[in-house]
A and B are shown apart, each in its own frame.
Chain A
Amino acid sequence: MTGFEAFFVQLAEDFPRWNFIWLYDEKQAGRILSGLWMTVKLSFACVLFSLVIGIAGAWLQGARNRILRAGVQGYIQFFRNTPPLVQLLFFYFALGQFTPVVTGPDGWTEVPVISAAGWAIISLSFFAGAFNVEIFRAGIEAVPYSTREAAEALGMSRTQTFTNVVFPLALRVSIPALNNNLVNLVKTTTQAFAIAVPELLYESVSVWNDFPSAQNPTMLLLFVVYLGLVGVLVFGMNSWERKMRIPGYGQ
């Protein structure tokens, strides 16, 4: 035991409320780290998929086919206007029953092809994606119509105009709002706790349930870690925004 660990063991003895157990107990440290890793994976996957959904949705909103447009609208209304926790529970418990299952080695358990973490990623991505569609739409509508006309005058097709002219400009307008939504998304991953996905909140709660004395330190840790995680995301987004700056546009 190093002096650092000994200090925290002593601290826990002197102050029964401040047991930083994960600083000297390897098993608890492992739990917290595995939870953190899960949270990072969830966040990364959800950010990625929600962006894909957002871009695809925004593109389809401008489609000529009315049914497609109505479909996107329906999707947005449904996912934006229902609580994400309800969506998560519905996906996991209700839809989870209709997914194909692989019977486990014991012959009784049925392991769904989509795990709890998988459902969390799906549901959170759809939820954040609905907001992203609207964010990108705002960006697209901010592109001056004359710019689009100019692209058409050059003989570009609708797809070419979108990918080469409209979307790159729209993305730059969307970044601040997108930032907001993605920050929210990272924080919302804690809801996966409700379906027993072993992410950071789940592991933290488990730790302080097993060791009531570790509650305050673990809560502090939660705050610090989420500040850090969101900090990394915001830093990344901001530097991306700076890199994409076009002189004379939006400054």
Chain B
Amino acid sequence: MKHLIATTALASVALTPIAATAAECTNDTWNRIQERGKIVVGVKADYKPWGFRDTDGSIVGMEIDMAQDVAETLGVELELTPVVASNRMQFLEQGQIDLMIATMTDRADRREIVGIVGPNYYTSGTNILAPKALGFSSWDELNGKPVCGVQGAFYNQIIEDKYGAQIVAFGGSAEARQALRDKKCVAFVYDDSSIGSAIASGEWADFEMPLASEDDSPWGLAVPKGEESCVFGRFMTGMQYGWHQDGSLIEWETKWGIKPTAYLQNLNAKLADPVAE
């Protein structure tokens, strides 16, 4: 046993990448973007209206507009890589993408893995898309019932532990929605703003978002962990700050038909430029 533990400890030491020390900024990603003249951004392709495929197959959405603005500010070309909830952090870690803007909720355990830099560009809560026929009125009614979800969403565990729902998690939201339409589950758990857009689109006539949203959580975009407090991380902080101040985020929200959120309004007011006319 002792021997095993010693071996495991040794192995884990050997396998652990050298912890990034805050003191040293190599700015690898930043430099690579400049050299290539291209930034690769990981976005969602199945998350209307933040990132989804248009009828011609190209990826569009609010987060794509953000990525476009980042690329233009850097003066480089933009390349989009579709990611899903369960692989987005890994893609960023491995350097397959330089930047991730993929509807990710900002959480403490995620901050240990990727460099999530503030100020958060959006917030949303958790809610369910459920058939009107079932008339849910409280979260507790989900107890013991099958609820469709998406692999990689942080609230799956919360809904399971807190309310006893049986989460059936699919790889993407398209499959989960299809399963709900096929009546394989009583509800689809997702973030409230996306459900709001889905209902507004008119494709879910017999469905509703009946509950009070839970866990209002900030969303975060992420740079590689090593770049968090270096040029790239600081630059992305500045970008987000700018979007809040000049109202870009509110504009995009309107453009993509997302219900206005108090969070963006408040921050925009708070950061109002006292000198500008």
Query: What's the minimum C-beta distance from A214 to chain B, rounded to whole angstroms?
Result: 10
Knowing A11-B9, A106-B186, A109-B184 are in contact, say whether A196-B86 is a contact too (CB < 8 A).
no
Are A196 and B182 in contact (CB-based, < 8 A)? no
Contact across chains for B110 and A212 when beta carbons are under 8 A apart: yes
Residues of A within 8 A of B157 (CB): 210
Known A196-B168, A196-B170, A211-B109: A112·B15 in contact at CB below 8 Å: no
| A147 at the B interface (CB under 8 A) | no
On whether A112 and B16 interact (CB within 8 A), knowing A209-B86, A212-B110, the answer reads no
Partner of A196, one of B16, B90, B169: B169
Interface of B is mostly: mixed
With a 10 A CB-CB cut-off, give which of A16, A193, A209, A213 has the most chain B CB atoms: A209
Q: Which residues of B contact A202 (CB under 8 A)?
A: 151, 169
Given contacts A108-B134, A212-B112, A213-B112, contact A205 B182 (CB under 8 A): no
Assess whether B146 is interfacial by the CB under 8 Å rule.
Answer: yes
Please, which residues of chain B bring their CB within 8 A of the CB of A193? Answer: 171
Asked whether any CB of chain A lies closer than 8 Å to the CB of B263, the reply is no
**CB of B79, distance to nearest CB on chain A (Å):** 25
> Do A108 and B113 have beta carbons less than 8 Å apart?
no
B133 sits at the interface (CB 8 A): yes
- Map CB proximity to B onto A197-234 as digits: 1 under 8 Å, 0 otherwise: 00000100110011111011000000000000000000
Task: Report how far A6 CA is from B185 CA in the complex, Å.
Answer: 39
Per-residue contact bits, chain B 80-114, to A (CB 8 Å; 1 contact, 0 not): 00000110011000000000000000000110110
Q: Please encode chain A, from 1 to 43, with 1 for each CB lying within 8 Å of some chain B CB and 0 for all others.
A: 0001001000100011110000000000000000000000000
A4 with B1: CB separation less than 8 A: yes
Decide: A18 and B12 in contact? CB cutoff 8 A: yes
The digit string for B121-134, where 1 denotes a CB below 8 A from any CB of A, is: 00000000001011
Known A11-B9, A110-B183, A205-B86: A194·B171 in contact at CB below 8 Å: yes
Complex interface: chain B residues within 8 A of A251 (CB): none
- Chain A to chain B contacts (Cβ below 8 Å), 17 pairs: A4-B5, A7-B5, A11-B9, A15-B13, A93-B178, A97-B182, A107-B134, A109-B185, A109-B186, A110-B183, A196-B170, A196-B179, A205-B152, A206-B151, A206-B169, A212-B109, A213-B113
Q: A11-B12, A111-B184, A206-B151 are in contact. List 17 more A-B contacts (CB 8 A).
A: A4-B5, A7-B5, A93-B182, A96-B182, A104-B186, A109-B145, A194-B170, A195-B175, A196-B169, A196-B179, A205-B151, A205-B152, A206-B156, A209-B151, A210-B157, A212-B112, A216-B15
